[in-house]
Amino acid sequence: MTGNAEIERWLREAKQKGIFDSIEKVDEISNILGIERFLYPASVQRTNKETYALIKVNGDDMLGVFCRGMKPAGFHGHEKSFNGLKILICPLVHENAVILRSVLPFTAPCTLSKRDTTFGVGDRLGIATPGHIQIFKRYKASPVFAQQSVREITLTQRSFEDVLDSATWACFREGFNKPWGADGDHLKTEDQVKKVLSIGYTMVTADVSDYIRGEYTSKDNSDVIASYKNLSSGYRKVIEKRYLSSQVNLDSGQTITFSEEELGRAALIYGEALEHARRLYEAGNEVRGERDFDFELSIDETSTPTTPLAHVFIAKELERIGIKVISIAPRFVGEFQKGIDYIGDLKEFEESFRVHAAIAGKFGYKISIHSGSDKFLVFPVIGRITGGRFHIKTAGTNWLEALKIISRKDPSLFKFLYKYAQQKFGDAQKYYHITPDQSALPSVSAVDDSKLPDLFSNSDVRQVLHVTYGEMLKDTGIKKKIFMVLGKYKEDYWQALGEHIGKHLDLLNVPLAAS
Ligand code: ZN
């Protein structure tokens, strides 16, 4: 359906919802408003006084606010009127997103503390959310649409505002009225925490890795005891009383007890990190006040796996110092590298994951799995052991799906990007822990155009393309070409995302939502 027929359909739907009660002629209003594609039907929302819809004006998506009488305060845009109907046509800019979130609360993120199954889908390009929405309409899982780390924000030259606004506009456009979250991911400073919460994020992932003293992992007992004795006697007294005389029994069958040396080691490795977590948590409370926010603690970006004893120590310390976490992301055994499947022994993973999940269950928070893109081997284990109570974060895979679309639709641009990624990999690698074999990368010039999408089943290719997004996007010429192709084929991109993230959810055994 194109042209007038399509406009007429939209108008009919709009009229059914009571927007244009006195307007009959499509041509007339289109001429007056200069609106070519009239409105996105799913976006139409009516409040007491106004009607809101996403409309297309001269090729650009705009927010249309339709009202009779007083126009709502705050929106930036220009006004047109027709038969007493005022229409405010507003660009999709930050100021307008802020007001829309307060007028239509479903376009704002909320805390997901009551939701068992939560799933983060980082959208580095800011165009993936309509695709993600189609998935989360289908599955019984709550999405975190806005989720970017400080590292991603820096590398993509975006802002936390822009990331949140992209999700808001997409929820508005699709009329997505289920709860969704916004996660300031891997935040390290109090200022970062305050910043994201003050602009409306509802989740903070505190990254305390800079304060984890990993060097104590491998020190001799005598060194550990000597260093431990240097900690303040008040602190030692408190933790010795709390840990040395008691044990923690887990549902998974294990009992965790602490020797003096083990306690000392845990305190030395994690004591400062916990102190920093408390500072970040308090910074959050200062901004959010009485309103809740979801606080996740991430200790995943360390070189050694988190032991059950360390996990129990952290859980009990958080309780002692009054930090309520929604989830903790431990560092699991094996490798969770970006954008590729799990590397390691599955049996070993299952045994260790069972203990971590039991600790999380005992202390009343969820286990969080970072770098969750494409970890198909371990998803069934995670789904089964947690019974669906988990948080998973993905990001890179959404970017790789975008590149895969480019490989299908614009082979020559893809070949260029591939070679560019190979050149720039050295610069990009310092931000990520990954180990692709660069010498094993296929030469893209030799690949037939129709076979380019197959390259995405090669782990080395995936990793190189995964981490070089910052290099590609910081070149404005390249960025423009990427967005042009994806803009033209966005429906294909969204469909691919639906299938790919859907595969994640299926393997995690997430049930379909009742329709
Ligand atoms: Zn992480």
3-state secondary structure of 163: helix
- Cα 270 to ligand 1 centre (Å): 17
Six token digits for residue 148 = 């970017």
CA torsion, points 201, 202, 208, 210, in degrees to nearest 10?
-10
For residue 13, how far is the Cα from the chain centroid?
A: 34
- Cα 340 to ligand 1 centre (Å): 15
- Cα 186 to ligand 1 centre (Å): 7
Q: Where are the alpha helices (DSSP H) in 303-442?
A: 308-320, 346-363, 379-386, 396-409, 411-429
- Cα 245 to ligand 1 centre (Å): 34
Helix, strand, coil shares, percent, the chain, to 5? 50, 15, 30
* 210, 192 Cβ separation under 8 angstroms: no
CA torsion, points 444, 448, 452, 455, in degrees to nearest 10?
-60
* 407, 454 Cβ separation under 8 angstroms: no
Q: What is the pTM of this model?
A: 0.91
Report d(CA 347, CA 330) in Å as an integer: 18
139 forms beta bridges with: 512
Report d(CA 268, CA 63) in Å as an integer: 54
- Cα 164 to ligand 1 centre (Å): 19
- Cα 474 to ligand 1 centre (Å): 23
Q: Count Cα neighbours of 410 within 13 Å in the Cβ-side half-sphere.
A: 17
Report d(CA 185, CA 166) in Å as an integer: 16
- Cα 476 to ligand 1 centre (Å): 28
pLDDT computed for residue 164 by the predictor: 98
Q: How many CB atoms lie within 10 A of CB 16?
A: 10
pLDDT computed for residue 40 by the predictor: 79
Give Rg (Cα) of the chain.
Answer: 25
Nearest to residue 53, comparing CAs of 87, 101, 9? 87
* 365, 337 Cβ separation under 8 angstroms: no
For residue range 307-327, list pLDDT tens digits in order: 999 999 999 999 999 999 999
- Cα 265 to ligand 1 centre (Å): 24
CA 461, 467, 468 angle in degrees (round to 5)?
90
pLDDT computed for residue 10 by the predictor: 52
- Cα 301 to ligand 1 centre (Å): 6
Those residues of the chain that have pLDDT short of 50 are 1-4, 6-7, 21-27
- Cα 153 to ligand 1 centre (Å): 15
Nearest to residue 58, comparing CAs of 33, 22, 92? 33
pLDDT computed for residue 145 by the predictor: 98
Q: Count Cα neighbours of 196 within 13 Å in the Cβ-side half-sphere.
A: 35
Report d(CA 419, CA 31) in Å as an integer: 48
Report d(CA 278, CA 508) in Å as an integer: 32
* 49, 67 Cβ separation under 8 angstroms: yes
- Cα 293 to ligand 1 centre (Å): 19
Which single residue is written with the structure tokens 């007294």? Answer: 237
Q: Which residues of 415-427 are buried (b: 16+ CB within 10 A; e: fewer)?
A: bbbbeebbebbee
Report d(CA 38, CA 11) in Å as an integer: 7
CA 267, 430, 447 angle in degrees (round to 5)?
135
Active-site residue list: 185, 296
